[in-house]
Structure 1
């Protein structure tokens, strides 16, 4: 199991209670992949620059794609740039991967993540993701919070330490904040445009 798979499973489990936005979830998934690449020593960070390291093999095809997508020539890309580039439509890609491998089951109710009336089927992977979520594992919890699957606690702890994983988590939170700012700016611009055409 990977952190990204745990996150997409958690998002689908939580969809009836609280559905994550596609953009926020995609950014968080890109961050989750980077956390796993760091854990596998496929990359390291030099400040906020992603530096290629080893070339381990991954059982997960999407994580394999992620490793192959790392820029291997200088100047290396920043964590922030990685999140926006790799995160494009990543939530849909993970949902499609679950469907393709037969990990989804039909259910009644509204559709999560645009995948139809489905839920994650019971499996060892699903149970492992649920256990990690129930245990409030810090990395998964931080990514899920950035994706909008839970509220930030009122007594939010200090910012993550500036170790590589902390840098990634902070970058995900910053990217999600930027995404919301862009949406608000576009909404204001659209409202202003609409008002011009409504004016007598």
Structure 2
């Protein structure tokens, strides 16, 4: 299991009280989690805010391998923020599919009626227990990425335990991207409300 898969499982088991984790928010955080795992595998380094490809380690996870294959290999290398938006497009759906195919998620019907909508929930597997153990231990990287999508409370003033500057840069970029996405949502809501009021007026 990768950090991204652990984060996806945690997002299902620990949703924000007021609303479910947004798919766009989660996709951005998953892209950040992949980048952090690529850093850990020495597949990339970070130079200022640019992602510099490193060696070509063997990655035993299909989605992480896909992420490595999509790196920009020639200078000027891609900025972290640009990577999050490009790689993050529909990434939560890709992880849901992969986890379902791997037996980590199962579908169940919500509501009592047989035609109720299907929802997914984690299966009790070693992968799910590993994700829960990382969460219970408040493993710094997982906790920081989860906080970006509103899981586990608001973002602290400083990310605890993130000693690596490259990881800190990725986490900060995830938080900034999620905030930018929320600003876009709010602007659209205001514009739609103004348009509706114009027609009513």
TM-score w.r.t. structure 1 length? 0.89
- Secondary structure of 1:51's aligned partner: strand
With over 3 angstroms needed to count, the CA separation of the structure-2 counterparts of 1:170 and 1:180, relative to structure 1, is same
- Secondary structure of 1:117's aligned partner: strand
Residue segments in structure 2 that go unaligned for 5+ positions in a row:
112-116
Q: Does 1:97 align with 2:98?
A: yes
Q: Give, in whole Å, the separation in 1 of the partners of 2:145 and 2:108.
A: 26
Question: Is the 1:3–1:33 Cα contact (8 Å) retained in structure 2?
Answer: yes
How many residue pairs get aligned? The number is: 193
Equivalent position of 1:68 in the other structure: 69
Q: Does 1:118 align with 2:149?
A: no
Equivalent position of 1:46 in the other structure: 47
Q: Give, in whole Å, the separation in 1 of the partners of 2:109 and 2:130.
A: 24
Equivalent position of 1:187 in the other structure: 189
Q: Once the 2 structures are TM-superposed, how far is the Cα of residue 172 of structure 1 from its aligned partner?
A: 0.3
Q: Once the 2 structures are TM-superposed, how far is the Cα of residue 13 of structure 1 from its aligned partner?
A: 1.7
Equivalent position of 1:84 in the other structure: 85
Equivalent position of 1:9 in the other structure: 9
Q: Give, in whole Å, the separation in 2 of the partners of 1:19 and 1:42.
A: 33
TM-score w.r.t. structure 2 length? 0.89
Equivalent position of 2:158 in the other structure: 158
Task: Give the stretch that moved more between structures: 120-129 or 22-31.
Answer: 120-129
Residue segments in structure 1 that go unaligned for 5+ positions in a row:
none
Q: Give, in whole Å, the separation in 2 of the partners of 1:133 and 1:188.
A: 36
Q: Give, in whole Å, the separation in 1 of the partners of 2:164 and 2:179.
A: 19
Question: Is the 1:21–1:148 Cα contact (8 Å) retained in structure 2?
Answer: no
Q: Give, in whole Å, the separation in 2 of the partners of 1:189 and 1:106.
A: 36
CA RMSD of aligned residues (A): 2.0
Q: Once the 2 structures are TM-superposed, how far is the Cα of residue 6 of structure 1 from its aligned partner?
A: 0.6
CA deviation string 1:111-149 (max 9, x = no partner): xxxx93332111111111100000111110110111122
Q: Once the 2 structures are TM-superposed, how far is the Cα of residue 108 of structure 1 from its aligned partner?
A: 5.7
CA deviation string 1:34-53 (max 9, x = no partner): 00000001000110000011
